[in-house]
């Protein structure tokens, strides 16, 4: 009778492998840590970010005030129309000549009613420059090497402002530097406008731009383009009231002129002594 080797083969059970005590302790610790992390994630999902077992914690949100929002310059023109308009704003930057105390034109800028540049040129003074006043004027020696001659700039500016409403701040200084004049009825000076005065004292253009327009100008070197734009925007913002004020003043001046009595000829001067000749 043949014997089946498979039946005769005894079943051998493998002996369980004994783990190192340190390894089993490590496994138990890993299991307990994983269960703790699950509980932490659940508590975070339930809206409890203050659980001390959290490793990373909830991301700190920045308050709205700290969010970087690009600042919009209120002096930026709303269009790119550079045509000559009925209102023109002007600003000039000066350099020092003679002993440095005398001012001369170093740069002149004109913008239209939208703030777009009509004319912006460095100007070479007739006299030798001894102080460029760079910290205020922003003018450097290299700027005047290819600058316009004074007479060329003067002629162009006179052409542009002729018959226009001229807007600016302390315009008498700019006109003096240009050796030009302009009809008083056509001047709109933000340094002279009554509602802009404080106790009959003139405010600086920088102060008016910050207070009324929310614009930050003249920090260090002045930019005549920004200054001209600020003056024009101040005028445009108050144009209706400003023009009404000008009309009222003109009307009052005409009335006073009509009421002004004519000088009467004295009777003593009218009569002449006719003494007979003896």
In this prediction, what percent of the chain has a pLDDT beyond 90?
A: 60
Distance CA 244, CA 255 (A): 17
pTM reported for the whole predicted model: 0.68
Q: How many CA atoms does the CB half-sphere of 69 hold within 13 Å? A: 8
State pLDDT tens for residues 34-59.
666 655 555 555 555 555 555 555 55
Contact 157, 84 (CB under 8 A): no
CA distances from 132 to 129, 193, 206 (A): 7, 31, 22
Write down the H helix ranges in 130-264.
134-137, 150-161, 171-178, 205-208, 224-237, 239-259
With cut-offs at 50, 70 and 90, classify the pLDDT of residue 257: confident
Q: Residue range 117-145: average pLDDT?
A: 97
For the chain, give the longest Cα–Cα distance. 203
Confidence at residue 175, expressed as pLDDT on a 0 to 100 scale? 98
Q: Residue range 250-268: average pLDDT?
A: 71
């Amino acid at each position: 009778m043949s014997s089946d080797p498979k039946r005769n083969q005894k079943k051998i059970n493998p002996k369980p492998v004994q783990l190192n005590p340190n390894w089993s302790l490590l496994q138990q610790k890993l299991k307990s840590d994983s269960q703790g992390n699950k509980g932490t994630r659940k508590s975070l999902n339930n809206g409890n970010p203050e659980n001390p077992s959290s490793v990373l914690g909830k991301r700190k949100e920045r308050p709205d005030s700290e969010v970087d929002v690009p600042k919009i310059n209120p002096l930026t023109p709303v269009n790119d129309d550079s045509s000559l308009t009925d209102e023109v704003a002007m600003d000039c930057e000066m350099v020092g000549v003679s002993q440095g105390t005398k001012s001369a034109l170093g740069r002149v800028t004109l913008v239209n009613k939208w703030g777009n540049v009509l004319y912006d040129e460095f100007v070479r003074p007739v006299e030798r420059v001894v102080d460029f006043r760079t910290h205020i004027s922003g003018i450097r020696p290299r700027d005047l090497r290819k600058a316009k001659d004074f007479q060329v700039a003067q002629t162009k500016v006179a052409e542009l402002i002729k018959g226009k409403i001229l807007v600016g701040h302390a315009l008498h200084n700019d006109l003096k530097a240009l050796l030009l004049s302009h009809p008083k009825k056509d001047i709109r000076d933000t340094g002279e406008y009554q509602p802009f005065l404080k106790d009959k004292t003139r405010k600086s253009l920088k102060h008016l731009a910050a207070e009324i327009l929310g614009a930050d100008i003249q920090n260090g070197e002045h930019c005549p383009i920004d200054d001209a734009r600020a003056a024009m925007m101040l005028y445009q913002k108050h144009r209706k009231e400003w023009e009404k004020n000008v009309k009222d003043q003109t009307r009052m001046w005409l009335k006073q002129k009509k009421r002004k009595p004519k000088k009467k000829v004295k009777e003593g001067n009218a009569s002449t002594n006719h003494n007979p000749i003896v």
